[in-house]
Amino acid sequence: MLQLTWDQLRDAIAIYLKHAYPSGQLPEVVQQRVALDANRPTAELIGSPPFESYVADAPFPCTVHALRLGSVDYPHLKMEVRPFPSNAGYLFWVNTHDRFISPDSNLPDADRWREVVRRNRDLKQAVERAWADVNLPTFRTAMQEDMDSKP
């Protein structure tokens, strides 16, 4: 079972939203998704709506719990909580969902799509760096933890 605390979940969401919506204006659907019941245990909460749960193959077959928070550029970005073999037992991850389509460069919107992909990548990196900076578990912090444990 994941040892995710309410403080960690709240901090992760707040950091994500700060980067994804710099103006502070959240779409109504996102406002509804982040209006979480703080009386529920986090393990129960992330296994039910508005979280989506699905099996992923990376880094190993596991159940991922995702909250679709989007961004000003792209509504399908998700903040994920993924099991991971680290001290925390999980990590936070931004799933950009934009690598599935690689448009032909001759298409009229190809450059625009590439720009969305670039902004999504930049947002992912900024959010995950900010999570790591406040010691929330990320892939980066898990890798650093692993390197620090080696003689």
Task: Dump the DSSP string for 93-132.
Answer: EEE---SS----TTSTTHHHHHHHHHHHHHHHHHHHHHHH
| Interatomic CA distance for residues 133 and 24, integer angstroms | 21
pLDDT at 116: 85
Question: What is the number of other CB atoms lying within 10 angstroms of the CB of residue 99?
Answer: 10
| Interatomic CA distance for residues 53 and 76, integer angstroms | 15
Alpha-carbon separation of residue 30 from 8, 10, 85, 113, 145 (angstroms): 19, 14, 30, 23, 33
Asked if residue 84 belongs to a domain, the reply is yes
Reduced to 3 states (helix: H, G, I; strand: E, B; else coil), residue 144 is: helix
Asked if residue 39 belongs to a domain, the reply is yes
Asked if residue 82 belongs to a domain, the reply is yes
Asked if residue 10 belongs to a domain, the reply is yes
Asked if residue 1 belongs to a domain, the reply is no
pLDDT at 138: 86
| Interatomic CA distance for residues 140 and 46, integer angstroms | 22
Q: What total of structural domains would you count in the chain? A: 1
pLDDT at 137: 87
- What domain range is 84 assigned to? 6-149
pLDDT at 148: 67
Asked if residue 93 belongs to a domain, the reply is yes
Half-sphere exposure of 132 (CA within 13 A, CB side): 16
Query: What pTM, to 2 d.p., does this model score?
Result: 0.88
Q: What is the pLDDT along the chain (151 residues), one digit of tens a residue?
A: 568 999 999 999 999 999 999 999 999 999 999 999 999 999 899 999 999 999 988 777 889 999 999 999 999 999 999 988 877 888 999 999 765 566 666 777 777 878 888 899 999 999 999 999 999 988 877 667 666 667 6
Asked if residue 89 belongs to a domain, the reply is yes
pLDDT at 2: 67
Asked if residue 51 belongs to a domain, the reply is yes
